[in-house]
Protein backbone atom coordinates (compact mmCIF):
# COMPACT_ATOMS: atom_id res chain seq x y z
CA UNK A 1 0.00 0.00 0.00
CA UNK A 2 1.43 3.38 -0.97
CA UNK A 3 2.23 5.97 1.67
CA UNK A 4 -0.28 8.42 0.21
CA UNK A 5 -3.10 5.88 0.31
CA UNK A 6 -2.20 4.77 3.84
CA UNK A 7 -2.36 8.39 4.97
CA UNK A 8 -5.73 8.81 3.25
CA UNK A 9 -7.15 5.66 4.87
CA UNK A 10 -6.06 6.93 8.26
CA UNK A 11 -7.70 10.29 7.57
CA UNK A 12 -10.92 8.55 6.52
CA UNK A 13 -10.89 6.46 9.68
CA UNK A 14 -10.27 9.51 11.88
CA UNK A 15 -13.03 11.46 10.14
CA UNK A 16 -15.54 8.71 10.91
CA UNK A 17 -14.32 8.45 14.48
CA UNK A 18 -14.50 12.22 14.97
CA UNK A 19 -17.75 13.06 13.23
CA UNK A 20 -19.76 9.88 13.54
CA UNK A 21 -21.72 9.29 10.33
CA UNK A 22 -20.57 10.72 6.98
CA UNK A 23 -21.82 10.15 3.45
CA UNK A 24 -19.57 9.16 0.57
CA UNK A 25 -19.86 12.65 -1.05
CA UNK A 26 -18.94 14.28 2.27
CA UNK A 27 -15.89 12.05 2.62
CA UNK A 28 -15.02 12.70 -1.01
CA UNK A 29 -15.05 16.47 -0.41
CA UNK A 30 -12.99 16.22 2.80
CA UNK A 31 -10.36 13.89 1.32
CA UNK A 32 -10.35 15.59 -2.11
CA UNK A 33 -10.81 12.31 -3.98
CA UNK A 34 -13.61 10.85 -6.10
CA UNK A 35 -16.62 9.09 -4.60
CA UNK A 36 -15.44 5.92 -6.32
CA UNK A 37 -12.15 6.18 -4.45
CA UNK A 38 -14.06 6.54 -1.19
CA UNK A 39 -15.93 3.31 -1.94
CA UNK A 40 -12.63 1.47 -2.56
CA UNK A 41 -11.07 2.92 0.61
CA UNK A 42 -14.03 1.86 2.74
CA UNK A 43 -13.75 -1.66 1.31
CA UNK A 44 -10.03 -1.67 2.15
CA UNK A 45 -10.74 -0.66 5.74
CA UNK A 46 -13.38 -3.37 6.08
CA UNK A 47 -10.99 -5.96 4.64
CA UNK A 48 -8.42 -4.88 7.24
CA UNK A 49 -10.90 -5.60 10.04
CA UNK A 50 -12.09 -2.06 10.75
CA UNK A 51 -15.83 -2.21 11.59
CA UNK A 52 -17.17 0.28 9.02
CA UNK A 53 -20.92 0.04 8.46
CA UNK A 54 -23.10 1.52 5.72
CA UNK A 55 -26.48 2.93 6.79
CA UNK A 56 -29.06 2.89 4.01
CA UNK A 57 -31.67 5.50 3.22
CA UNK A 58 -31.74 9.29 2.71
CA UNK A 59 -29.96 9.91 6.04
CA UNK A 60 -27.50 7.09 5.46
CA UNK A 61 -23.76 7.07 5.24
CA UNK A 62 -20.76 5.33 6.71
CA UNK A 63 -20.08 4.97 10.41
CA UNK A 64 -17.92 2.96 12.77
CA UNK A 65 -19.28 0.34 15.13
CA UNK A 66 -20.42 2.07 18.33
CA UNK A 67 -17.62 2.10 20.88
CA UNK A 68 -14.86 1.42 18.35
CA UNK A 69 -11.87 3.70 18.74
CA UNK A 70 -8.63 3.55 16.81
CA UNK A 71 -5.34 4.04 18.63
CA UNK A 72 -3.64 5.45 15.52
CA UNK A 73 -4.11 9.07 16.47
CA UNK A 74 -0.68 10.00 17.79
CA UNK A 75 0.70 13.29 16.51
CA UNK A 76 3.97 13.35 14.61
CA UNK A 77 6.46 16.00 15.74
CA UNK A 78 5.70 18.07 12.63
CA UNK A 79 1.93 17.85 13.21
CA UNK A 80 2.31 18.75 16.88
CA UNK A 81 4.46 21.74 15.95
CA UNK A 82 1.84 23.01 13.50
CA UNK A 83 -1.11 22.49 15.84
CA UNK A 84 -1.10 26.08 17.11
CA UNK A 85 -1.96 27.16 13.55
CA UNK A 86 -4.95 24.83 13.18
CA UNK A 87 -7.38 27.69 13.86
CA UNK A 88 -5.55 29.99 11.43
CA UNK A 89 -5.93 28.35 8.01
CA UNK A 90 -4.73 31.43 6.14
CA UNK A 91 -1.39 31.82 7.97
CA UNK A 92 -0.92 28.03 8.01
CA UNK A 93 -1.30 27.94 4.22
CA UNK A 94 1.14 30.84 3.81
CA UNK A 95 3.71 28.95 5.87
CA UNK A 96 3.11 25.75 3.88
CA UNK A 97 1.68 24.00 6.96
CA UNK A 98 -2.03 23.88 6.10
CA UNK A 99 -2.17 20.10 5.57
CA UNK A 100 -0.11 19.37 8.68
CA UNK A 101 -2.27 21.68 10.79
CA UNK A 102 -5.51 20.17 9.49
CA UNK A 103 -4.25 16.63 10.11
CA UNK A 104 -3.07 17.54 13.61
CA UNK A 105 -6.44 19.07 14.46
CA UNK A 106 -8.25 15.99 13.17
CA UNK A 107 -6.05 13.64 15.22
CA UNK A 108 -6.49 15.74 18.33
CA UNK A 109 -10.29 15.71 17.95
CA UNK A 110 -10.25 11.94 17.37
CA UNK A 111 -8.24 11.43 20.55
CA UNK A 112 -10.79 13.27 22.70
CA UNK A 113 -13.68 11.46 24.34
CA UNK A 114 -17.16 12.30 22.93
CA UNK A 115 -18.02 15.10 25.40
CA UNK A 116 -14.87 17.24 25.06
CA UNK A 117 -14.74 16.43 21.34
CA UNK A 118 -18.22 17.88 20.90
CA UNK A 119 -17.22 21.02 22.80
CA UNK A 120 -14.06 21.42 20.71
CA UNK A 121 -16.03 21.01 17.48
CA UNK A 122 -18.57 23.56 18.66
CA UNK A 123 -15.79 26.01 19.48
CA UNK A 124 -14.30 25.59 16.00
CA UNK A 125 -17.71 26.08 14.37
CA UNK A 126 -18.58 29.22 16.33
CA UNK A 127 -15.30 31.16 16.62
CA UNK A 128 -13.11 32.24 13.74
CA UNK A 129 -10.05 34.50 13.69
CA UNK A 130 -9.66 36.63 10.55
CA UNK A 131 -6.25 38.27 10.73
CA UNK A 132 -6.16 41.15 8.19
CA UNK A 133 -8.03 44.37 8.94
CA UNK A 134 -11.02 45.62 6.98
CA UNK A 135 -10.46 47.13 3.54
CA UNK A 136 -7.12 45.44 3.07
CA UNK A 137 -5.79 42.03 2.18
CA UNK A 138 -2.73 40.40 3.64
CA UNK A 139 0.69 41.13 2.20
CA UNK A 140 2.05 39.31 -0.83
CA UNK A 141 4.84 37.17 0.68
CA UNK A 142 6.39 34.95 -2.04
CA UNK A 143 9.44 34.12 0.10
CA UNK A 144 7.67 33.33 3.37
CA UNK A 145 8.23 29.58 2.99
CA UNK A 146 12.01 30.00 2.67
CA UNK A 147 12.11 32.45 5.57
CA UNK A 148 10.08 30.13 7.80
CA UNK A 149 12.41 27.24 6.92
CA UNK A 150 15.35 29.34 8.06
CA UNK A 151 13.54 30.18 11.31
CA UNK A 152 12.59 26.56 11.96
CA UNK A 153 15.90 24.91 11.00
CA UNK A 154 18.11 27.72 12.42
CA UNK A 155 19.72 28.30 9.03
CA UNK A 156 21.48 31.50 8.05
CA UNK A 157 19.60 33.49 5.40
CA UNK A 158 20.93 35.81 2.74
CA UNK A 159 18.19 38.39 2.21
CA UNK A 160 17.78 40.83 -0.64
CA UNK A 161 15.61 43.50 0.89
CA UNK A 162 13.83 46.56 -0.45
CA UNK A 163 14.13 49.33 2.10
CA UNK A 164 11.89 52.39 2.22
CA UNK A 165 14.66 54.35 0.54
CA UNK A 166 15.68 54.05 -3.11
CA UNK A 167 18.28 51.30 -2.65
CA UNK A 168 17.91 47.54 -2.24
CA UNK A 169 20.28 45.92 0.26
CA UNK A 170 21.69 42.46 0.93
CA UNK A 171 21.98 41.14 4.46
CA UNK A 172 23.17 37.93 6.13
CA UNK A 173 20.81 37.29 9.05
CA UNK A 174 20.11 34.76 11.78
CA UNK A 175 16.30 34.38 11.70
CA UNK A 176 14.89 34.12 15.23
CA UNK A 177 11.14 34.25 14.66
CA UNK A 178 8.13 35.36 12.59
CA UNK A 179 5.31 37.64 13.75
CA UNK A 180 1.96 38.12 12.03
CA UNK A 181 0.60 41.61 12.69
CA UNK A 182 -2.65 42.77 11.06
CA UNK A 183 -2.14 40.61 7.96
CA UNK A 184 1.56 41.49 7.58
CA UNK A 185 4.44 39.11 8.37
CA UNK A 186 7.58 40.41 10.10
CA UNK A 187 10.88 38.61 10.58
CA UNK A 188 12.88 39.13 13.76
CA UNK A 189 16.52 38.39 12.89
CA UNK A 190 19.98 39.07 14.24
CA UNK A 191 22.13 41.15 11.90
CA UNK A 192 25.39 42.98 12.62
CA UNK A 193 25.19 42.48 16.35
CA UNK A 194 21.56 43.43 16.99
CA UNK A 195 18.09 41.99 16.49
CA UNK A 196 16.14 43.81 13.80
CA UNK A 197 12.80 43.46 12.07
CA UNK A 198 12.18 42.95 8.37
CA UNK A 199 8.79 43.13 6.69
CA UNK A 200 8.60 39.88 4.75
CA UNK A 201 6.67 41.45 1.87
CA UNK A 202 9.70 43.68 1.17
CA UNK A 203 12.04 40.71 0.78
CA UNK A 204 12.83 40.37 -2.94
CA UNK A 205 15.09 37.31 -2.71
CA UNK A 206 16.21 34.68 -0.19
CA UNK A 207 19.01 32.12 -0.11
CA UNK A 208 18.82 29.50 2.66
CA UNK A 209 22.50 28.81 3.33
CA UNK A 210 24.09 25.53 4.44
CA UNK A 211 25.18 27.25 7.61
CA UNK A 212 23.54 26.84 11.00
CA UNK A 213 23.44 29.23 13.95
CA UNK A 214 22.67 28.86 17.65
CA UNK A 215 19.51 30.66 18.61
CA UNK A 216 19.98 32.38 22.01
CA UNK A 217 18.15 30.39 24.66
CA UNK A 218 17.00 33.58 26.39
CA UNK A 219 15.50 35.22 23.30
CA UNK A 220 11.79 35.86 23.94
CA UNK A 221 9.96 36.62 20.69
CA UNK A 222 6.83 37.95 22.44
CA UNK A 223 8.83 40.28 24.70
CA UNK A 224 10.95 41.45 21.76
CA UNK A 225 7.89 42.28 19.67
CA UNK A 226 6.21 44.10 22.56
CA UNK A 227 9.31 46.26 23.06
CA UNK A 228 9.70 46.83 19.32
CA UNK A 229 6.03 47.87 18.98
CA UNK A 230 6.35 50.40 21.80
CA UNK A 231 9.53 51.80 20.29
CA UNK A 232 7.97 51.91 16.84
CA UNK A 233 5.12 54.07 18.10
CA UNK A 234 7.58 56.42 19.83
CA UNK A 235 9.66 56.73 16.65
CA UNK A 236 6.62 57.18 14.44
CA UNK A 237 4.94 60.00 16.38
CA UNK A 238 7.52 62.79 16.26
CA UNK A 239 5.18 65.80 16.41
CA UNK A 240 1.88 66.95 17.90
CA UNK A 241 -1.23 68.74 16.69
CA UNK A 242 -3.94 70.44 18.71
CA UNK A 243 -7.37 69.78 17.19
CA UNK A 244 -11.05 70.09 18.06
CA UNK A 245 -13.23 67.04 17.40
CA UNK A 246 -17.01 67.22 16.93
CA UNK A 247 -19.03 64.95 19.26
CA UNK A 248 -20.50 62.99 16.34
CA UNK A 249 -16.98 62.29 15.01
CA UNK A 250 -15.76 60.15 17.92
CA UNK A 251 -16.23 56.87 16.06
CA UNK A 252 -14.52 57.99 12.85
CA UNK A 253 -11.76 59.67 14.86
CA UNK A 254 -11.06 56.41 16.69
CA UNK A 255 -11.16 54.44 13.44
CA UNK A 256 -8.70 56.83 11.78
CA UNK A 257 -6.16 57.11 14.59
CA UNK A 258 -6.51 53.73 16.33
CA UNK A 259 -5.48 53.19 19.93
CA UNK A 260 -3.97 56.66 20.31
CA UNK A 261 -7.42 58.20 19.76
CA UNK A 262 -8.87 56.58 22.88
CA UNK A 263 -6.14 58.06 25.04
CA UNK A 264 -6.28 61.60 23.64
CA UNK A 265 -10.09 61.71 23.82
CA UNK A 266 -9.97 60.61 27.47
CA UNK A 267 -7.43 63.33 28.22
CA UNK A 268 -9.15 65.95 26.06
CA UNK A 269 -11.06 69.03 27.24
CA UNK A 270 -14.77 69.24 26.43
CA UNK A 271 -15.75 72.71 25.26
CA UNK A 272 -19.08 74.46 25.82
CA UNK A 273 -20.24 73.59 22.29
CA UNK A 274 -19.66 69.86 22.93
CA UNK A 275 -16.50 69.64 20.85
CA UNK A 276 -13.40 68.06 22.43
CA UNK A 277 -10.01 69.77 22.32
CA UNK A 278 -7.22 67.17 22.15
CA UNK A 279 -3.47 67.04 21.66
CA UNK A 280 -2.86 64.44 18.96
CA UNK A 281 0.51 62.73 18.28
CA UNK A 282 1.28 62.84 14.53
CA UNK A 283 4.02 61.58 12.24
CA UNK A 284 4.29 64.88 10.37
CA UNK A 285 1.98 67.73 9.28
CA UNK A 286 1.93 66.29 5.77
CA UNK A 287 0.89 62.83 6.94
CA UNK A 288 -1.64 64.22 9.42
CA UNK A 289 -3.30 66.32 6.72
CA UNK A 290 -4.62 63.37 4.69
CA UNK A 291 -5.72 61.59 7.87
CA UNK A 292 -7.62 64.60 9.21
CA UNK A 293 -9.21 65.36 5.86
CA UNK A 294 -11.14 62.10 6.23
CA UNK A 295 -13.14 63.75 9.01
CA UNK A 296 -14.09 66.76 6.87
CA UNK A 297 -15.73 69.57 8.82
CA UNK A 298 -16.01 67.41 11.95
CA UNK A 299 -12.47 68.33 13.00
CA UNK A 300 -10.69 71.69 13.27
CA UNK A 301 -6.91 72.03 13.45
CA UNK A 302 -5.74 74.73 15.88
CA UNK A 303 -2.00 74.05 15.94
CA UNK A 304 0.57 73.94 14.41
CA UNK A 305 0.01 76.86 12.07
CA UNK A 306 1.62 74.92 9.19
CA UNK A 307 -0.95 72.13 9.45
CA UNK A 308 -3.88 74.56 9.86
CA UNK A 309 -2.80 76.45 6.74
CA UNK A 310 -2.41 73.16 4.86
CA UNK A 311 -5.94 72.09 5.83
CA UNK A 312 -7.32 75.47 4.72
CA UNK A 313 -5.52 75.13 1.40
CA UNK A 314 -6.96 71.65 0.87
CA UNK A 315 -10.47 72.92 1.71
CA UNK A 316 -10.09 75.78 -0.77
CA UNK A 317 -8.92 73.38 -3.46
CA UNK A 318 -11.94 71.15 -2.87
CA UNK A 319 -14.30 74.13 -2.96
CA UNK A 320 -12.80 75.26 -6.28
CA UNK A 321 -13.04 71.75 -7.69
CA UNK A 322 -16.75 71.53 -6.89
CA UNK A 323 -17.50 75.12 -7.94
CA UNK A 324 -18.29 76.43 -4.47
CA UNK A 325 -17.73 80.17 -4.11
CA UNK A 326 -16.61 81.66 -0.78
CA UNK A 327 -19.35 83.46 1.17
CA UNK A 328 -19.76 87.12 0.14
CA UNK A 329 -18.60 86.68 -3.47
Torsion of CA 232, 90, 175, 165, to 10 degrees: -50
The answer to whether position 326 is within a domain reads no
Q: What angle do CA 285, 313, 241 make, to 5 degrees?
A: 25
Chain segment 133-167, per-residue pLDDT in tens:
555 556 778 888 899 889 988 999 999 998 776 67
Give the up-direction half-sphere exposure of residue 33: CA atoms within 13 A in the CB hemisphere: 18
The pLDDT value given to residue 160: 94
Is pLDDT larger for residue 216 or for residue 44? 216
Chain segment 32-70, per-residue pLDDT in tens:
889 899 898 888 878 777 788 887 766 678 888 776 655
Chain segment 77-97, per-residue pLDDT in tens:
455 444 444 545 555 455 555
- The C-alpha atoms of residue 228 and residue 250 are separated, in whole angstroms, by 29
The answer to whether position 99 is within a domain reads yes
Residues of the domain holding 19: 3-64
Name which of 198, 103, 86, 211 is nearest 153 in CA terms: 211
The answer to whether position 71 is within a domain reads no
Chain segment 113-125, per-residue pLDDT in tens:
566 556 555 555 5
Please state the rounded mean pLDDT for residues 278-297: 90
The pLDDT value given to residue 84: 46
Is pLDDT larger for residue 32 or for residue 126? 32
Q: Is the pLDDT of residue 275 over 90?
A: yes
Q: Assess whether the previous peptide bond of 304 is cis (omega < 30° from 0).
A: yes
Q: Is the pLDDT of residue 5 over 80?
A: no
Number of domains in the chain: 4
Please state the rounded mean pLDDT for residues 285-311: 92
Write phi, then psi, for 206 (nearest 5 degrees): -140, 135
The pLDDT value given to residue 305: 94
CATH of the domain at 170: 2.30.30
Would you place residue 210 in the very low, low, confident or very high pLDDT band (cuts 50, 70, 90)?
very high
Q: What is the pTM assigned to this prediction?
A: 0.53
Q: What angle do CA 308, 310, 315 make, to 5 degrees?
A: 95
Is pLDDT larger for residue 209 or for residue 185? 209
Please identify, among 216, 234, 252, the residue that sits at the C-terminal boundary of a domain.
Answer: 234
Helix (H, G, I), strand (E, B) or coil at 127: coil
Please identify, among 182, 209, 234, the residue that sits at the C-terminal boundary of a domain.
Answer: 234
CATH of the domain at 56: 1.10.10.10
- The C-alpha atoms of residue 325 and residue 329 are separated, in whole angstroms, by 7
Would you place residue 235 in the very low, low, confident or very high pLDDT band (cuts 50, 70, 90)?
confident
- The C-alpha atoms of residue 172 and residue 118 are separated, in whole angstroms, by 48
Q: What is the largest CA-CA distance in the chain?
A: 94
- The C-alpha atoms of residue 149 and residue 95 are separated, in whole angstroms, by 9
- Where are the extended beta strands (E) located within the chain? 52-55, 61-64, 155-162, 168-181, 184-191, 194-199, 203-212, 239-245, 269-270, 276-282, 299-303
Amino acid sequence: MGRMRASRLLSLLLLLQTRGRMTAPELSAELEVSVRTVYRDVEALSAAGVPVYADRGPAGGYRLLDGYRTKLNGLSSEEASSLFLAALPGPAAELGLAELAATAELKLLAALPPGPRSQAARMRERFHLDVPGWYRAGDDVPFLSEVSRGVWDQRVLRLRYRRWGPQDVERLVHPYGLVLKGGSWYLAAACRGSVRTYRVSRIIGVDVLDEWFDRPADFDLVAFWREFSAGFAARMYTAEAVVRVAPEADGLFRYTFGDVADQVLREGITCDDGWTRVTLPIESPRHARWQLLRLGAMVEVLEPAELRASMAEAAADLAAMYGVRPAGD
